[in-house]
Amino acid sequence: MFALQGVSKSFGPVQVLKPTTVEFRTGESTVLIGPSGCGKSTLLRLLVGLVDADGGTIQFEGTPITKANIMQMRQRMGYVIQDGGLFPHLTARENVSLLASHLGWEKQRMDQRVEELADLTRLPRLALDRYPTQMSGGQRQRVGIMRALMLDPSVLLLDEPMGALDPLVRFDLQEDLRKIFRTLAKTAIMVTHDMGEAAFFGDRVMMFGEGEIVQEGRLEDLIQHPSNEYVSRFINAQRLPGVQS
């Protein structure tokens, strides 16, 4: 799906991502975990082209990403951010169908797809015609996920999607999101700093520290065989509800 070859990124004097070579395989869900400022979000933003790499190449489905083709490629990626990043002037339905409508989908096809996604994400149909300010945080996030899924992308990228939610809502959404992942069997890459979430979603977990991948593997491996002091400290610092290992 994604293949990175020696990709690095600096902001000013700070190298937030050291030259990194890594592959994200089709059908696998990967969780990028680590403390704030460790480079995990930057990696995700590099994948959708929100930041440009200083060096190295990124391939998406076998094709190197360039300035010229990024716009086309983005339409095959679904990207979800904290609080949904919804357009405040559009209703939930309009938010979800904005790109489809721009690409000239027929209304019937759009409505059908929107309702399908509302069922999938368990968004009440009534909420479809509300504006973001009229929705709860959980609903906004569900709409954000619907929007990312609208064009049936081949990969789903999620940047701390539960970050702004209170624990109960968060729990519900986590359950639903996992179901969605299972149902769609999509490639997914999710950024979080929450071990619980990592355990919940990740087939594969990548632990980041100071701009590089410190350890990767199944979460159980990380817990049982931390590769160094940093990893065990990060893991022990967090409670791990719902981890069955």
Partner 1 sequence: MKKLLHLVFSLFLLSVCVLRPAFAEPPKISVGSKAFTESVVLGELICHLAREQGAKVEHRAELGGTQFLWQAMAAGKIDVYVDYTGTIREELLAEVIKSGVEIRSEADMREALAKMHVRMSDRLGFNNTYALGMRDATAEKLGIKTINDLRNHPDLKFAFSDEFMERKDGWRPLAEKYKLPQKKVRTMDHNLAYRGLEHDAIQLTDLYTTDAEIEFYKLRTLEDDQGYFPTYYAVMLMRDDLQEHAPEIVKSILRLENLIEPHEMVSMTAKVRLDREMESNVAAGFLNDKLQLDIPLKSTSKSAEWMRILGRLAKTTYEHLFLVLISLSLAIVVAVPLGIVSARNENIGNTVLGVVGVIQTLPSMALLVFMIPLFGLGALPAIAALFFYSLLPIVRNTYTGLTQIPIAIRESALVIGLDRAARLRLVELPLALPSILGGIKTSAVINVGTATIGALIGAGGYGSPILTGIRLSSISLILQGAIPAAVLAIVVQFGFGWIERRFVSPGLRTS
Task: Name the maximum alpha-carbon separation found in the chain.
Answer: 56
Q: Nearest-CA neighbor of 200 among 31, 27, 23, 26?
A: 31
What's the min distance (Å) between Cβ of 165 and partner 1?
16
What's the min distance (Å) between Cβ of 245 and partner 1?
35
Closest to partner 1 by CB, 10 vs 82, is 82
- The yes or no reply on residue 85 touching partner 1 (CB under 8 A) is yes
Closest to partner 1 by CB, 91 vs 192, is 91
What's the min distance (Å) between Cβ of 74 and partner 1?
4
Q: Nearest-CA neighbor of 197 among 25, 32, 43?
A: 32
- The yes or no reply on residue 77 touching partner 1 (CB under 8 A) is yes
- The yes or no reply on residue 48 touching partner 1 (CB under 8 A) is yes
Stretch that binds partner 1, among 20-28, 45-53, 165-173, 182-190 (CB under 8 A): 45-53
- Is 86 within 8 Å of 164 (Cβ atoms)? no
CB atoms within 10 A of CB 76: 13
Report d(CA 151, CA 230) in Å as an integer. Answer: 40
Identified binder of partner 1 from the candidate list 13, 14, 62, 133, rule CB under 8 A: 133
- The yes or no reply on residue 24 touching partner 1 (CB under 8 A) is no
- The yes or no reply on residue 43 touching partner 1 (CB under 8 A) is no
What's the min distance (Å) between Cβ of 91 and partner 1?
7
Pairing of strands 204-209, 29-33: parallel
Buried b / exposed e over 5-43, threshold 16 CB at 10 Å, is eebbbeeeeebbbebbeeebeeeebbbbbbeeebbbbbb
Enumerate binding residues for partner 1 (CB under 8 A): 48-50, 71-72, 74-75, 77, 79, 81-83, 85-91, 98-99, 102, 131-134, 147-148
